[in-house]
Structure 1
Amino acid sequence: MITFLVCLIILVGGYLIYGKFVERTFQPDNRPTPATTMADGSDYVKMHPAKIFLIQLLNIAGLGPIFGAILGAYWGPVVFLWITFGTIFAGAVHDYLSGMISIRHKGSSISEIVGLYLGPVMKNIMRVFSVVLLVLVGVVFATGPANLLAMLTPNSLNAAFWLTVIIGYYFLATLVPIDKIIGRVYPIFGICLVIMCIGVAGGIIVKGYHIPELTLSNLHPDGQSICPFMFITVACGAISGFHATQSPLMARCMEKETDGRKIFYGAMVAEGVIALVWAAAGVAFYETTGGLQEAVVRLGGQGGVVYEICNTLLGPVGAVIAMVGVIACPISSGDTAFRSARLTIADWFKIGQKPITKRLALTIPLLAVGALLTQVDVTIVWRYFSWSNQTLAMIALWAAGAYLVKNKTAPWIAVVPATFMSAVSLTYILMAPEGFKLGASVAYPAGIIFAIGCLAAFLLLIYKKTEKADGKELAAE
């Protein structure tokens, strides 16, 4: 219990202290934002900061910090450390910088930002990477809620029925102006999410469940190594490249840059709290990591675990409220994932999105592909989503570091987590069952060498660009 509470306090303190430091490093000012200078009534629409915060939280939360945290609890309370410090020093920094840099570049998608700071090759890689990731997110966050809704409704309303309903909703939410559905419904979903999180945390504490204290031992029932597997499994609750695709959506709606810390850094810290609560629930409710693993298998996945925990802790009424929060989160992330995919392609091919016909031309094929992928085993999709998610985060952080160097401020706030995630991403794909299945003796050194190589390449690239810029300034003088 003490470890859990200390980590909770550190998360809040991280927002107040390190979040303020990151804000001072970036130096937001009072310049006009894209919501003002590029208003189009569809994607560039001014909204209230509190509403934007709730939308950002729901966009990034999804099933990730819940399902990922439950699986992360297989390693025991050591997962609390990754959620806490990953959120403060990596995830929240990643979200803040990707959102704020987007504001400075007319609300551009993350792929276009990467191209500006890491070159055209990386831009094209990120364009493809982003669209693939976003479609995978939409698929995962349609299938999961459909299964959960099927648990709460009569047998005639099965998962296939709810999947059709959700895809239909995604079509509308992806197509219509952002303030018409997303801007109006998400605050309500946000209240459900908060109630769910408080209810589960309160139920664990009040009913006397034992949240184990920190041990650095590996408690995974199958002995799977903490590095890199835990760092990839708990993605959205610590750092997630998916968030870099979502922050530009809100960058197009913000009236003031100075709201950035509350919206971007703050939403990620709130997600870290959600992940911490569900990780604690996982290790406490089933008493042992082996018991948790057995429950995931017995109940047909993390969705069944979520339902059992909510129903036991909160009773039937509380369980419904909690489940609505869990269902609303992924649906809200799924629709904005497809929306982000549409805008990424629009930025890529310079297709204006004000006319509805042009929005339809991109929305229909994207959702058709997503609907086909829902027929694939979602656990396989999730594995590739997790790795591609963290790889995208790595690239976004390197681009943010380049931006900070160009603007002559401290790049290390992005470069340090970028280097770490470079090592994690390569090590994982070398070791993972869906990767190359290599041993740790090969994967660990390769990951370290890759991270050092990325850092060296970054420093060389930045050095050359800085030297070139200084030369132009001297020539001008």
Structure 2
Amino acid sequence: MISFFLCLLLLVAGFFFYSRITEKVFGPDDRETPALSMTDGSDYVPMGTPRIFLIQLLNIAGLGPIFGALAGACWGPSVFLWITFGTLLGGGVHDYMIGMMSMRHKGASVSELTGSYLGTAMKQIMRVFSVVLLVLVGVTFSTGPANLLAMLTPHVLNSRFWLAVVLIYYFIATFVPIDKVIGKIYPFFGICLIVMALGVGGAILFKGYHIPEITLSNLHPAGTPIWPTMFISVACGAISGFHATQSPLMARCLTNEADGRKVFYGAMVAEGVIALIWAAAGVAFYDGTGGLLTALGNGQSSVVYEICFQLLGPVGAVIAMIGVIACPISSADTAYRSARLTLADWFKLDQKPVKNRLLLTIPLLAVGSVLTQFDVQIVWRYFSWSNQTLAMIALWTVSVYLYRKKRFYWITVLPATFMSAVSCTYILMAKEGLQISTTIAYPIGILFAAACFGTFYYTSVLGKGSHAGASACETEYAAAKSD
């Protein structure tokens, strides 16, 4: 239990100290933000910082820090370390830098930012990659809440009924101005999420459950290696490329650059706390990794329901379940919204006219509806890998940006190199990948990370690469005094 509290303390302290270092590296100032200079009543809408923080938290949270943390807890309390240091050194830096870069570039999506600093070819790759990832998020976070809602309602209101309701809501939230639905209901969902986290965490502590101390031993009952699988399984609770698609949404609503640290880095730390609580709850409630893995065999939704009901009773369980339901719904609706805006940036479609929003919203939701008919576990596995790969690319994008601005680029180069090794190694050895043995996958993953670092150093630091691919975008943004 001491390990748990130390990690919790580190997360809180990290926000007050390391986030300020991150902020100093970027260097926010008092320039006019896109929310004020480009207000359109749809996506560029000025809002208050507390509201934006809650929206950002719910955007990035989803079932990731809950389902992912429970899956990660199957390796034992070593997952506490990844959640803590991944959040502070990786996720918080990643979310803050992308959010602030987007503010400096007219609220641009992550794919457009990538094109500005990694070239046209990478921009095209990231455009496709981002849209696919966002649709996968929408699909994954459609069936999950539908199943949970079916558990709380009469049998006649089954998961198919709730899936239809959820998809209708996604259409509305994706289409209407951001302050009309998302901006109004998220504060309530935020309260539910906070109550859920405090309730589950408090019950584990005060009801005498044992939270084991951290050990670096692999405690996974199936013997699945920690590297790199645990680092893929726990994505949204540590570092997540999905967040790079969400931060630009709030970059279009912030009215002051100085609030970026509270919103972007702060929301990531809050998500890390949620993941830490659920990881601890998983190993404590089921008395070890064996019981947890067995329980997960019945589905992650059933594990969440059982933990909430047993720890908090019927009333507390309903409150906690609402929080758990709000998480994925509030991520999927903004996932589809981000996909719409990414496509809008791609095809230069002004999103103020209603017809232009419909032109992109209807096809996106149609594709998402079809994909919900597939096994969500298979979809989740591909999402997990693509999610961390996007984080890797986003971190390299920020690294080039920081170097060109003569800032301390090592703050993103190191996590970018680490995530490069994670992403490559996983796809080489995973079931949905090439299924190569660890003796081959491990060294290739390390070599790939070294190659990524070498490419960055050679093309940026040594100045041997061509910046032609980024020149057009940089010229455009220079006109707006992006930095």
Q: How much has 1:463 moved relative to structure 2?
A: 3.5
Equivalent position amino acid for 1:241 in 2: G
Q: Please list the CA deviations of residues 81-132 of structure 1 after superposition, one character each: whole Å capped at 9, or x if unmatched.
A: 0000000000000000000000000000000000000001110010000000
Instruction: Give the percent of matched residue pairs that are identical in Structure 1 and Structure 2.
Output: 69
Structure 1 pair 456/195, CA: closer, same or farther in 2 (3 Å)? same
Moved over 4 A (4+): 464-469
Equivalent position amino acid for 1:461 in 2: T
Conserved? CA contact 2:403–2:461, under 8 Å = no
Pairing 1:376–2:374 present: yes
Conserved? CA contact 1:201–1:281, under 8 Å = yes
SS in 1 for 2:70: helix
Pairing 1:421–2:413 present: no
- Other-structure match for 1:385: 383
Pairing 1:73–2:73 present: yes
Pairing 1:89–2:124 present: no
Q: How much has 1:460 moved relative to structure 2?
A: 1.6
Alpha-carbon separation, structure 1, partners of 2:465 and 2:408: 18
Q: TM-score w.r.t. structure 2 length? A: 0.96
Alpha-carbon separation, structure 2, partners of 1:108 and 1:399: 13
Equivalent position amino acid for 2:310 in 1: T
SS in 2 for 1:17: helix
- Other-structure match for 2:255: 255
Flag structure 2 segments of 5+ consecutive residues without an equivalent.
472-483
- Other-structure match for 1:303: 301
Alpha-carbon separation, structure 1, partners of 2:95 and 2:10: 19
**More divergent stretch after superposition (460-469 vs 3-12):** 460-469
- Other-structure match for 1:441: 439
Tell me how large the CA RMSD over aligned residues is: 1.1
Match of 1:409 among 407, 410, 417: 407
- Other-structure match for 2:183: 183
Alpha-carbon separation, structure 2, partners of 1:465 and 1:427: 29
Conserved? CA contact 2:149–2:162, under 8 Å = yes
- Other-structure match for 1:475: none
- Other-structure match for 2:173: 173
Q: How much has 1:4 moved relative to structure 2?
A: 0.3
Structure 1 pair 78/102, CA: closer, same or farther in 2 (3 Å)? same
- Other-structure match for 1:354: 352
- Other-structure match for 1:338: 336
SS in 2 for 1:171: helix
Pairing 1:145–2:145 present: yes
Q: How much has 1:461 moved relative to structure 2?
A: 1.8
- Other-structure match for 2:326: 328
Q: Please list the CA deviations of residues 342-364 of structure 1 after superposition, one character each: whole Å capped at 9, or x if unmatched.
A: 00000001000000100000000
Alpha-carbon separation, structure 1, partners of 2:301 and 2:450: 39
Alpha-carbon separation, structure 2, partners of 1:455 and 1:48: 39
Conserved? CA contact 2:458–2:464, under 8 Å = no
Matches within 5 A, 1:186-335: 186-297=186-297, 300-335=298-333
- Other-structure match for 1:122: 122
Aligned residue pairs: how many?
A: 468
Q: How much has 1:466 moved relative to structure 2?
A: 8.6
- Other-structure match for 2:459: 461
Q: How much has 1:411 moved relative to structure 2?
A: 0.3
- Other-structure match for 1:135: 135
Alpha-carbon separation, structure 2, partners of 1:403 and 1:188: 37
Equivalent position amino acid for 1:250 in 2: M
- Other-structure match for 2:57: 57
Alpha-carbon separation, structure 1, partners of 2:75 and 2:465: 47
Matches within 5 A, 1:3-18: 3-18=3-18
Alpha-carbon separation, structure 2, partners of 1:44 and 1:464: 38
Alpha-carbon separation, structure 2, partners of 1:216 and 1:170: 42
Alpha-carbon separation, structure 1, partners of 2:350 and 2:290: 52
Conserved? CA contact 1:406–1:466, under 8 Å = no
Conserved? CA contact 2:458–2:465, under 8 Å = no
Flag structure 1 segments of 5+ consecutive residues without an equivalent.
473-477
Q: Please list the CA deviations of residues 133-176 of structure 1 after superposition, one character each: whole Å capped at 9, or x if unmatched.
A: 00000000011000000110010000000000000000000000
Q: How much has 1:380 moved relative to structure 2?
A: 0.1
Q: Please list the CA deviations of residues 57-91 of structure 1 after superposition, one character each: whole Å capped at 9, or x if unmatched.
A: 00000000000000100000000000000000000
Equivalent position amino acid for 1:352 in 2: D
Alpha-carbon separation, structure 2, partners of 1:331 and 1:464: 46
Alpha-carbon separation, structure 2, partners of 1:461 and 1:434: 33
Q: How much has 1:226 moved relative to structure 2?
A: 0.4
Conserved? CA contact 1:68–1:236, under 8 Å = yes
Q: How much has 1:465 moved relative to structure 2?
A: 5.0
Q: TM-score w.r.t. structure 1 length? A: 0.97
Equivalent position amino acid for 2:274 in 1: I
